[in-house]
Structure 1
């Protein structure tokens, strides 16, 4: 069983198993006929009735003949599975297309097709396929849906074969399976400015020296591929060789999304829990910043960064945005709570500076972790924190502490350190909080005499 475009798996009924397997496949009807035949034969011997013996033999032989015929009948069946799409947001449906091909020279009998799916995706689909002619095919499909993100195996596909009398059933399984990836929900966000860096190549862009073939200001030796219009003639005459100008080039703005996965920072579970909201919010920001042209990176409290391979660990500049988004969405699809107690490992990763805009999704904080976050802010030109207080997610609204109790003190510490910190209530809209973070940034900038709305 494979996805579209790959080789097909095949099942041969006649080459696998033995007569013992065929007898083990007797249905309740077949076993009842066999038991009745044996009982009739015994009664005919005790009572001396030869006619009853003939009836008993007929009842006993019929299921055995059906099992033998079913075992000896040989044909080959190939199957394939195609997911549409193979990566789906939580709460959305995906369609699974199954295709069965009879690649033998004989038509099949009645077939029952069954695909194994995890319970969370819905009931196990079953299909009855009537006679499939030689070289023919049948296509069926079913839908799967999950409110919980994750990676779910589909398969292997099972094929159940029966005889016309329903006396015997044999089951054949294909060996391979496919995987459905359920990624977090992504909410569209407004194109606001949360730091001095506008867009990927906007007002706050950084600049770096270009390589061969790029615009340069400082003279250097000519390299193959350089534009001859950039030849610096004065330096060429001075050094006696062809020299070109070296100029600075804009560097894509960066964004680091920090996701707090500490198990002690969240309470509750399920699709409506605080942790799931944080994962969905991080996914929304990652996709939004990639669409705006940023180089992005996903960072967790454990210090693990995605993609984090080669270069500076950011995606979007050297990779296609779609590939980078897919890699990070796959990571968020299976991310779970960590055993860590603090954010120091994430701070160690951010020590290098030049991380660009920092967007953090945080659970419950104590004073020590708030102090670590304050030091993180010093490494970034802009920082936004979404703090998910467990009290607002697992308790009734009337039992939630006031704004300055508990997490309110931590929010104040973050704001004093320069963060645009917002408290996330249960059921909050990520887009509304995104806009609110922009309004707070503008208010702070206006109060300090900086950039206005």
Structure 2
């Protein structure tokens, strides 16, 4: 078995092919097991004692013990195997806490059978114990398939491999290990919840009735025609364009424009305390993932924005739902959230510039940062609270979920209920005064329940006053 071939397309099916023995003779000698070294040492010692004592019977026993490991080494060294290995993940992207199955396949493509093989795959400790399998003798052209499961409560990207193959002799005196060269990657995305289709304050529907439409017809000379499709109204046929293009053309009188939504995720390190799957930051990441998937299903064009001003998908981009495009959008967003970590920033000024249209993430369609804005925020001081309050635009809804990291880390206990007027001094109350639909996220709360509360929450003071 020698060098490996490149892995399969997409990283879901890796394959290695090798030819020849398991290294040189010196490498084969280094493969002696503890039993093999013991046999060799005992044989040498017996031969020396037989020479000193003049015992011919003992000399023959010593030679047998010493030569047997060497014969096994030579036999494995001369053994020529051609084997291929492949790995397949199902699925290649799983949610935190869910299981994925890894399928391994070994093919003997040589003209001679193999001996007893031990197959071992290298996996990170967080995914579980290292899987090991013992394969019986594989006949020429034969195949062996095994599988194992992996699971992680922590999101991230984890390498699987390379695959290791061990060949032993029948006596267990020599063990040679060789590794394939390819590996695959398992992506563990944040946990998500199915959200109820609620109507948020200031939100327009994602696609269809209630969403804005851009007229594509200013006059008979400015018409933008398109090819006739089965089911089109014949009264919309544009005969002048039909004569010009030589095929039936119809008027494209108006184009529906999808509503836009921005999901802001606060990743500042100083805004969160604690770590692990039950920390406040992981709750915020999971909530952002659930919101993005829900909005894509509702027909929104969405983007993910962080406090650093970074935007996914790129500067000024957005995804539209529908068919394969929606699946690709969800995959890219989940892959981004799978590896997102804390930032070293101290404020939300870059996110403010992006939402208001002046930063690198601005320009999310016409109007910059208008549309629905959903924010997941950590600890906020007075300056950052004021900055977030000014992010909201009059033309769209704004929903904020504010986390108190001290409460999540268990350092503070919930105090007595405050008077109604005292809430204005807190970040949640100040955001509500600015027109946000703001809710506090206490430790252990299910995001789906907060989402329903956001749909039933009254408008903030500024939003209610603007509508009046």
Scaled by the length of structure 1, the TM-score of the pair is 0.89
Alignment of 1:300-449 (within 5 A): 300-308=306-314, 312-316=316-320, 320-352=325-357, 353-378=368-393, 381-395=396-410, 398=413, 409-441=426-458
Question: Are 1:30 and 2:36 an aligned pair?
Answer: yes
Q: Deviations over 1:279-319 (max 9, x none)?
A: 0000000000000111110000011111126xx41112597
Partner Cα distance (2:356, 2:260) in 1 = 15
SS in 2 for 1:175: coil
Partner Cα distance (2:463, 2:340) in 1 = 39
Partner Cα distance (2:180, 2:80) in 1 = 17
SS in 2 for 1:8: strand
Partner Cα distance (1:438, 1:445) in 2 = 18
SS in 2 for 1:381: coil
SS in 1 for 2:391: helix
Q: Deviations over 1:9-48 (max 9, x none)?
A: 113341x521110000000000000000110111112112
> Aligned-pair RMSD on alpha carbons?
2.9
- Name stretches of at least 5 consecutive residues in structure 2 with no aligned partner: 229-233, 241-248, 358-367
Q: 2:304·2:312 contact (CA, 8 Å) conserved in 1?
A: yes
Q: Deviations over 1:81-135 (max 9, x none)?
A: 0001000000000000001111111111100000000000000000000111110
Deviation of the 1:58 alpha carbon? 0.6
Deviation of the 1:207 alpha carbon? 2.1
Partner Cα distance (1:41, 1:449) in 2 = 102
Question: Are 1:11 and 2:15 an aligned pair?
Answer: no
Partner Cα distance (1:416, 1:70) in 2 = 79
SS in 2 for 1:280: helix
- Name stretches of at least 5 consecutive residues in structure 1 with no aligned partner: 211-215, 235-242
The corresponding residue for 1:218 is 219
**How many residues matched?**
437
Partner Cα distance (2:157, 2:177) in 1 = 27
Partner Cα distance (2:334, 2:61) in 1 = 67
Q: 1:325 to 1:400 in 2, by over 3 A?
A: farther
SS in 2 for 1:220: coil
Partner Cα distance (1:386, 1:87) in 2 = 27
Q: 1:387·1:423 contact (CA, 8 Å) conserved in 2?
A: yes
Alignment of 1:19-418 (within 5 A): 19-210=25-216, 216-221=217-222, 225=226, 229-230=235-236, 247-308=253-314, 312-316=316-320, 320-352=325-357, 353-378=368-393, 381-395=396-410, 398=413, 409-418=426-435
Deviation of the 1:347 alpha carbon? 1.1
Partner Cα distance (1:7, 1:446) in 2 = 55
Partner Cα distance (1:407, 1:445) in 2 = 13
SS in 2 for 1:258: strand
Partner Cα distance (1:279, 1:232) in 2 = 51
Partner Cα distance (1:233, 1:163) in 2 = 84
Deviation of the 1:447 alpha carbon? 6.8
Scaled by the length of structure 2, the TM-score of the pair is 0.86
Q: 1:407 to 1:427 in 2, by over 3 A?
A: farther
Partner Cα distance (1:192, 1:156) in 2 = 47
Per mean C-alpha deviation after superposition, the further-off stretch among 89-98 and 348-357 is 348-357
The corresponding residue for 1:238 is none
SS in 2 for 1:434: helix
Deviation of the 1:217 alpha carbon? 4.1
Q: 1:268 to 1:380 in 2, by over 3 A?
A: farther
Partner Cα distance (1:27, 1:90) in 2 = 40
Q: 1:255 to 1:224 in 2, by over 3 A?
A: closer
